[in-house]
């Protein structure tokens, strides 16, 4: 089985390197992990050590307890330089996640951490897996740095859009163009559960509706004010429209006084 060296840089995707180390170890590969100081703000070194069974190196001046050996290999008797010995024993070196900052340092040849120093000293196949905000990834500077690494024979594993990136893109799209038709605002789709009286007259405006009770129209109280176009007699509303029209006709027949 292979000896895989994993470099972890600072980024929200650092937790996925735990699963990478777990799956590689499960398949029988020997895994060692290097971390940048920023990576330790997202995931702890103890988590990797519990999975791989080997100490995690975070500083190029740190002494390696296993002297560069991978799990299952004998520990050498001499005490070599840690960042040189661990890459000398590796069959492949993968930086995952590779942040925009780390990619820029690799392209420029900057060696200021255990991850970047070991990368320059590694003669085994080297791979980087970019993981960052989509706008940072599409920036011309990041794309040029990745192109530089490809020209040097370094394998770049293209990223995929994750759930967080999809949510951020959807939020920006909604702010710019409004919500999509399949994501309406307000009341969710479904039956209208608002209470309505079964005897309400939907064709008449609200101010012309009768007073409705649980069993139909509710009689008005005796002596209460009558609505226009009607009269109140014995608590019941009586339509006075025909009588008024008849009286108006009689006045018109008599003529002006």
CA distances from 232 to 98, 216, 236, 246 (A): 85, 19, 6, 19
Question: Is the domain of 43 the same as that of 150?
Answer: yes
Contact 95, 119 (CB under 8 A): yes
Q: Which of 93, 100, 97 is nearest to 145 (CA)?
A: 100
CA distances from 179 to 74, 160, 184 (A): 61, 25, 7
Identified catalytic residue from 169, 170, 171, 222: 169
Number of domains in the chain: 2
Asked whether residue 62 is assigned to any structural domain, the reply reads yes
Catalytic: 122? no
Asked whether residue 199 is assigned to any structural domain, the reply reads no
> In which domain, by residue range, is 245 found?
210-254
Beta bridge partners of 8: 35
Give residue 75's pLDDT.
86
CATH number at residue 37: 3.40.50.1950
Instruction: Read off the pLDDT of residues 45-92 as tens digits, 9 standing for 90 and up.
Output: 999 999 999 999 998 888 888 888 999 898 887 777 767 889 999 999
Question: Is the domain of 228 the same as that of 108?
Answer: no
Question: Is the domain of 144 the same as that of 224?
Answer: no
Return d(Cα 115, Cα 83) in angstroms, integer: 9
Asked whether residue 178 is assigned to any structural domain, the reply reads no
Question: Is the domain of 110 the same as that of 223?
Answer: no
Asked whether residue 248 is assigned to any structural domain, the reply reads yes
Question: Is the domain of 23 the same as that of 99?
Answer: yes
Instruction: Read off the pLDDT of residues 162-180 as tens digits, 9 standing for 90 and up.
Output: 555 555 555 556 666 665 5
Asked whether residue 181 is assigned to any structural domain, the reply reads no
Domain boundary among the residues 126, 160, 194 is at 160
Question: Is the domain of 26 the same as that of 93?
Answer: yes
Beta bridge partners of 61: none
Instruction: Read off the pLDDT of residues 188-236 as tens digits, 9 standing for 90 and up.
Output: 555 555 555 555 555 556 555 555 555 656 655 555 554 544 444 544 5
Asked whether residue 111 is assigned to any structural domain, the reply reads yes
Domain boundary among the residues 142, 160, 178 is at 160
Domain boundary among the residues 160, 194, 224 is at 160
Instruction: Read off the pLDDT of residues 14-32 as tens digits, 9 standing for 90 and up.
Output: 999 999 999 999 999 999 9
Give residue 230's pLDDT.
47
Question: Is the domain of 144 the same as that of 231?
Answer: no
């Amino acid at each position: 089985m292979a000896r895989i060296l994993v470099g972890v840089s600072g980024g929200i995707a650092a937790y996925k390197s735990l699963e990478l180390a777990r799956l590689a170890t499960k398949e029988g590969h020997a895994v060692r992990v290097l971390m940048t100081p920023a990576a330790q703000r997202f995931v702890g070194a103890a988590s990797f050590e519990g999975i791989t069974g080997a100490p995690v190196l975070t500083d190029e001046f740190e002494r390696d307890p296993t002297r560069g050996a991978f799990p299952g290999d004998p520990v050498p008797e001499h005490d070599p330089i840690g960042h040189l010995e661990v890459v000398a024993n590796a069959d492949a070196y993968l930086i995952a996640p590779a942040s925009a900052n780390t990619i820029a340092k690799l392209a420029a040849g900057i060696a200021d951490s255990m991850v970047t120093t070991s990368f320059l000293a590694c003669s085994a196949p080297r791979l980087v897996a970019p993981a960052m905000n989509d706008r940072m990834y599409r920036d011309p500077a990041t794309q040029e740095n990745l192109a530089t690494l490809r020209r040097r024979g370094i394998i770049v594993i293209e990223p995929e859009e994750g759930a967080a990136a999809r949510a951020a893109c959807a939020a920006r799209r909604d702010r710019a163009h409004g919500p999509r038709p399949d994501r309406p605002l307000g009341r969710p789709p479904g039956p209208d559960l608002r209470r309505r009286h079964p005897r309400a007259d939907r064709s008449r405006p609200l101010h012309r509706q009768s007073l409705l009770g649980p069993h139909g129209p509710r009689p008005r109280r005796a002596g209460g004010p009558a609505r226009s176009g009607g009269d109140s007699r014995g608590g019941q509303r009586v339509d006075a429209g025909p009588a008024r029209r008849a009286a108006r006709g009689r006045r018109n027949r008599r003529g002006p006084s």
